[in-house]
Homo-oligomer: A and B are copies of this chain.
Amino acid sequence: MEEEFKVTPWEVSGEIDYERLMQNFGTTPIDEALLRRLGGYGELHPMLKRGIFYCHRDMNQLLDRFDRGERFFLYTGRGPSGNTHLGHLMPWIFAKWLQDTFKVPLLFQMTDDEKFLFKDLSLDETRRLSYDNALDFVALGFDPDSTEIILDTENIRSLYPIALKVAKKVTFSTAKAVFGFDNSANIGAIFFTTIQAAPAFLPTEQSGVQTPCLIPCGIDQDPHFRVARDVAPGLDYPKPAMLYCKMFPGLGGGDKMSSSDPMSTIYTTDGPKDVRKKVGRAFTGGCVTVEEQREKGGNPEVCAIFKYNYYLFEEDDGKINDLAGRCKRGEVLCGECKAALTDKINLFLEGHQARREQAREVVDGMTFEGFEW
């Protein structure tokens, strides 16, 4: 079977067939029953209702344990390879909803080691980017009393013993099969998955009590957590439960916003003019002429502007459906949609950038040393 798309933790390319990806990876769809169950803990987040978080592993088991009084913790993170863009914020915003809904702690990992090993970046650069990216995370307003940020190279003393235990159970054959490594892979890249697995087991290791873990993240990270879940029982660690989202779309119409194409990517530090320019050049579902569009209507399904509203900037279901309808009937033109989205993004970024500046004090004071759960 030929694959027209590729999704690994380090490469996402092609037109992603999310259904097939789910089957290939062996994850479970988030169905109506699970949505109803999740809705019982608080109003469902739009990313769940809209199928942006669309598949999972072991969510029902996790909720069963939660219902019996076993508190879990959340774990997500960031590979600091460049400036934060809107796509990175998406799973973090969802993680905050989970934290607020379930009142649980959250562990956030910054993988400065990973990006050093996989990218043409120095450790000084990935460390600097970690501090910079942490500003965006803190700016989202997580509960500081129950949120911890880990920087791999700083907190390695806590992570390394767990990573060793994971590593002893994973052969090169497995790493090769799961991640597609060949013999030219560097030996740090081969080892790295153990470091990404470690935070999922850290509270269990530190407390000596099995502590359930829920990881909300992009579906591209599943290879790491397949490995982590496979080895967990043999190490007396609980298998982490997973909630996976689709990739945040690029402005060029592609399936994933890419840090390497600045024009298709809105960074959290972009100014109003940058946003206006980038949104203005975005790929839409509109027709070539105004007349044609008024007559035939646009196609919101392929439109980057519509996707931005759908994924992040229009949480009101009535309004998003109304927008789709008006587009299809030719009642709204691309220019209007672009202007409206530009305003929404700029309004969001204005607030985010102010909170980001306030976060500086928190992040500058972070030493990461002596991290204990």
Chain A residues close to B by CB (< 8 Å) = 113, 116-117, 123, 153-154, 156-157, 160-161, 163-165, 167-173, 175-176, 181-191, 193-194
Contact = CB atoms under 8 A, between A and B. Distances in A.
Given A154-B157, A156-B156, A160-B153, A171 B184 contact: yes
Contacts of A167: 117, 186-189, 191
B116 A164 contact: yes
A307 B170 CA distance: 42
Given A113-B160, A191-B190, A173 B184 contact: yes
Contacts of A157: 153-154, 156-157
21 contacts: A113-B160, A113-B164, A116-B164, A116-B168, A153-B161, A154-B157, A167-B191, A168-B188, A169-B186, A170-B186, A171-B184, A171-B186, A172-B172, A172-B182, A172-B184, A172-B185, A172-B186, A187-B190, A188-B191, A190-B190, A191-B191
Is chain A's interface secondary structure helix, strand, loop, or mixed overall?
helix
A215 to B, nearest CB: 21
Given A156-B160, A161-B123, A164-B117, A194 B188 contact: yes
A190 B172 contact: yes
A312 B146 CA distance: 59
Contacts of A184: 171-173
Instruction: Determine how many copies of this chain the complex contains.
Output: 2
A168 B123 CA distance: 11
A181 B191 contact: no
A168 B186 contact: yes
A127 to B, nearest CB: 9
B168 A117 contact: yes
Nearest to A171: B184
A125 to B, nearest CB: 13
Contacts of A165: 123
A351 B154 CA distance: 42
A160 B169 CA distance: 21
Nearest to A123: B161
Given A153-B164, A163-B188, 7 more contacts: A117-B164, A153-B160, A156-B157, A160-B160, A167-B189, A172-B182, A188-B191
Given A188-B191, A188-B194, A191-B187, A172 B181 contact: yes
A186 B176 CA distance: 12
A176 B184 CA distance: 11
B171 A187 contact: yes
A183 B181 CA distance: 11
Contacts of A163: 188
A163 to B, nearest CB: 8
